[in-house]
Structure 1
């Protein structure tokens, strides 16, 4: 809930800042030159940054979900399993020995 409120406040501040700076600016990319309102530059930059962060978050989540989970704790449980099986076989042979006597 806190992150949502913080995101809304930041979005509102960016929007107010963009509307107050409505001057025309010259954008130059390689050989293309354009005059565009500063509002579009600010909002476009904020949108591009949010989109990049979203894509990075999705990539990170997918990477974590696809990563195999190997925990040292699981290894120790697997190593203890034969010992438990040996103990159960010892108990069953002890019971047979008692019945024979």
Structure 2
């Protein structure tokens, strides 16, 4: 709940800051030069930063899940004295039932 309230407060501050700075600025990237409102630059930069943070959080979660899965596999292999995991018998799938 605290994170949600903090996020809303930060979003409100960014929006107020962006609206108060609505003048035109010149943006140059390589050979392209454009005049755009500063509000779009501020909001675009904020969105890009949030997107990067989201992707980093997703990557971290996936890495932690993978590490946890590897640890559980290693634990199951250590608990099996033969060093092999038990394989469940499979039914033949020749299409005949």
Q: TM-score, normalised by structure 2?
A: 0.72
Structure whose alpha-carbon radius of gyration is higher? 1
Q: What's the Cα RMSD here?
A: 2.0
CA distance in 2, matches of 1:69, 1:17: 47
**Which residue does the alignment assign to 1:52?**
52
Q: Deviations over 1:50-100 (max 9, x none)?
A: 000000000000011011226xxx6xxx5xx9xxxxxxxxxxxxxxxxxxx
**Which residue does the alignment assign to 2:8?**
8
Aligned to 1:22, what secondary structure does the other structure show? coil
Q: TM-score, normalised by structure 1?
A: 0.69
Map 1:1-101; keep pairs closer than 5 Å: 1-67=1-67, 68-69=70-71, 78=79
Q: Which runs of 4+ in 1 moved over 2 A?
A: none
Higher helix share: 1
Structure 1: gaps spanning 5 or more residues: 82-101
Q: Deviations over 1:14-49 (max 9, x none)?
A: 000000000000000000000000000000000000
CA distance in 2, matches of 1:34, 1:65: 44
Give 1:5 shift: 0.3
